[in-house]
Amino acid sequence: MEKRRLGRSELEVTTIGLGCWVIGGWMWGGAEDDQSVAAIKAALDRGCNFIDTAPVYGMGHSEEVVGRALEGRRDQVVLATKCGLVWDERGGRKHFVDSEGRTIYTNLSAESVKQECEESLRRLRTDVIDLYQCHWPDPGVPHEETMTALAELRDEGKIRAIGVSNYSAEMMAECLEYVQLASLQPQYNMLDRSIEAGLLPFCREHDIGIIAYSPLARGLLTGKVTMDREFGEGDHRAKRPWFRPENRRRVLEFLDKIKPIAEKHDATLAQLAANWVIRQEGVTTAICGARRPDQAEENMGAADFELTDDDLAAIRRHLDELGDPE
């Protein structure tokens, strides 16, 4: 699989990576650990070298599963995790309350960041995190404090590169006063192209790699979320605008229009959606989640073909016709 340099860092990542939110079982209706381990191994066998997780995905569980799956194969992987969302006595600024009634806080204080790093190293069964990212901005902590703490972790050899997720261009500009950012991880897919207005140009200008999350729009762009689909308890997708029945119907009609493009490349709709993301200028990689090995293998196949300019133009035209969710 093609590899691309992540910003100005020394990290080279495959164009399709494996996102590990779903394997934590949190907010996705659960997951089976053995299947999750098999999915991670299947992604690696298919040529993927980029694994992205976070402590909050299952309150540490996703990291533990990743650590188990990578035993004996750690040297094959660019391993990314995050800091800044906590759920214990450390507290911080309230971020949201999950479906189980648990309060999730943002906390990017130096003390919390360093403690989180140690905990992630232990759960991941490794002595260094390749890419350490601030999961969400913390308005209660100055960027200088957080970035200084991350620089110290890098100098100590506990992390190799620094990234951020869900940050604005203004926030990143301030962070750049203290450290070089390797990456930004924003949501980006056919149904959510909001980063094109400002974030993509900013990152291109400052040589910050883009790690696109949710390239399949939480599974909606696979075409498998049909009108009769029901979501289990704790599955966050049921409340999202594009998943409402009236909007879901419009998405399925859009997918029917672009299906011939997928068929021309002998690709699935999921592969088409992910390929579209990695063909956008400034995007380094797209991370796709998977519960099972077959899903991981399908996602990795998104890197096996290249959309033409005509393909890209046709998809844009149909997206303009689709518009925004009602």
- What's the pLDDT score for residue 325? 92
In CATH terms, the fold of domain 3-223+275-306 is TIM Barrel (3.20.20)
DSSP state of 52: E
Question: Nearest-CA neighbor of 274 among 11, 12, 19?
Answer: 19
Domain segments of the chain as ranges: 3-223+275-306
- What's the pLDDT score for residue 227? 86
- Predicted confidence pLDDT, tens digits, the chain (326 residues): 999 999 999 999 999 999 999 999 887 677 899 999 999 999 999 999 999 999 999 999 999 999 999 999 999 999 999 999 999 888 899 999 988 889 999 999 999 999 999 999 999 999 999 999 999 999 999 999 999 999 999 999 999 999 999 999 999 999 999 999 999 999 999 999 999 999 999 999 999 999 999 999 999 999 998 888 777 766 778 778 999 999 999 999 999 999 999 999 999 999 999 999 999 999 999 999 999 999 999 999 999 999 999 999 999 999 999 999 98
Q: How much is the pTM?
A: 0.95
Inter-CA distances, 168 with 59, 171, 185, Å? 26, 5, 11
- What's the pLDDT score for residue 233? 66
The whole-angstrom separation of Cα 185 and Cα 172 is 12
SS (HEC) of 186-212: CECECCECHHHCCHHHHHHHCCCEEEE
Is 213 a catalytic site residue? no
Cβ atoms of residues 4 and 285 within 8 Å: yes
Tokens of 32: 């089976």
The whole-angstrom separation of Cα 16 and Cα 21 is 15
Cα of first residue to Cα of last residue in the chain, in angstroms, is 38
